[in-house]
Amino acid sequence: MTHFAQRIGRLYLRSFAGLPRKVWLLSLVMVVNRSGAMVIAFLSVYLVNSMGYSATAAGWVMGSFGAGGIVGNYVGGLLNDRFGSWHIMFVSLVVAGFLHILIGQITGFWPLCILVFLTSMVADAFRPANRAAIAVYADDENLTQAYGLQRLAANLGFSIGPALGGLLIAVYGYESLFWADGVTFLLAAGLFLVTIPPDETARPLARSEPDTPISERALEETRPGLRQPWLVRMILANACIITCFFQFFSTVPVHLTQNGYTEGQFGLLLTISGVTIVAIEMPLVYLADRRYRPLYVMLTGTALILAGYLMLPLSVLAGYAFLVVWILLITFGEILLMPFTSTYVAKHAPPARRGEYLGLLSASYSLAFVLTPVVGFQLAEYFGYATSIYTVSAMGLLGFLLLLTVDGAREVRARELAVR
Query: Does 84 or 119 have the greater pLDDT score?
Result: 119
My answer on whether 236 and 366 are in the same domain is yes
| Residue 2, domain member (yes or no) | no
- Average pLDDT over the chain, rounded to an integer: 83
| Residue 210, domain member (yes or no) | no
Residue 258: predicted pLDDT: 84
Residue after which a domain boundary falls, among 141, 174, 202: 202
My answer on whether 318 and 171 are in the same domain is no
Confidence of residue 212 (pLDDT cuts 50, 70, 90): very low
| Residue 9, domain member (yes or no) | no
Q: How many domains does the chain have?
A: 2
| Residue 4, domain member (yes or no) | no
Residue 207: predicted pLDDT: 45
Residue 221: predicted pLDDT: 57
Residue 174, pLDDT above cutoff 70: yes
DSSP secondary structure string, 301-344? HHHHHHHHHHHHHHHHHH-HHHHHHHHHHHHHHHHHHHHHHHHH
pTM of full prediction above 0.85: no
My answer on whether 280 and 367 are in the same domain is yes
Q: What is the dihedral of CA 106, 253, 247, 294, to 10 degrees?
A: 110
My answer on whether 123 and 230 are in the same domain is no
For residues 342 and 358, the answer to whether their CB atoms sit within 8 Å is yes
**Nearest in space to 186 (alpha carbons), one of 101, 127, 128:** 101
d(CA 35, CA 184): 7
For residues 234 and 360, the answer to whether their CB atoms sit within 8 Å is no
Other Cβ atoms closer than 10 A to 169: 19
| Residue 207, domain member (yes or no) | no
In this predicted model, what pLDDT tens digit does every residue of 328-383 receive, in sequence order? 999 999 999 998 998 899 888 888 888 888 888 988 988 898 888 788 888 887 88
My answer on whether 258 and 172 are in the same domain is no
My answer on whether 297 and 275 are in the same domain is yes
For residues 358 and 131, the answer to whether their CB atoms sit within 8 Å is yes
| Residue 175, domain member (yes or no) | yes
Q: Percent of the chain at pLDDT above 70? A: 88
My answer on whether 352 and 420 are in the same domain is yes
For residues 308 and 32, the answer to whether their CB atoms sit within 8 Å is no
My answer on whether 386 and 311 are in the same domain is yes
My answer on whether 138 and 223 are in the same domain is no
Residue 135: predicted pLDDT: 83
**Nearest in space to 398 (alpha carbons), one of 248, 251, 294, 243:** 243
- Mean pLDDT over 23-34 rounds to 88
My answer on whether 292 and 420 are in the same domain is yes
CA-angle at 378, arms to 372 and 382, nearest 5°: 140
Confidence of residue 390 (pLDDT cuts 50, 70, 90): very high
Residue 127: predicted pLDDT: 85
For residues 50 and 329, the answer to whether their CB atoms sit within 8 Å is no
| Domain region containing 384 | 216-420
Q: Which residues contact 75 (CB under 8 A, 6 or more apart)?
A: 121, 125, 359
Residue after which a domain boundary falls, among 171, 202, 233: 202
Residue 136, pLDDT above cutoff 70: yes
My answer on whether 198 and 230 are in the same domain is no
Q: What is the CATH number of the domain that holds 132?
A: 1.20.1250.20
For residues 236 and 367, the answer to whether their CB atoms sit within 8 Å is no
For residues 303 and 400, the answer to whether their CB atoms sit within 8 Å is yes
| Residue 333, domain member (yes or no) | yes
My answer on whether 41 and 150 are in the same domain is yes
Q: Percent of the chain at pLDDT above 90? A: 28
CA-angle at 133, arms to 131 and 134, nearest 5°: 65
In this predicted model, what pLDDT tens digit does every residue of 142-159 receive, in sequence order? 888 888 888 888 878 877
- Mean pLDDT check: name the lowest of 316-325, 374-383, 390-399: 374-383
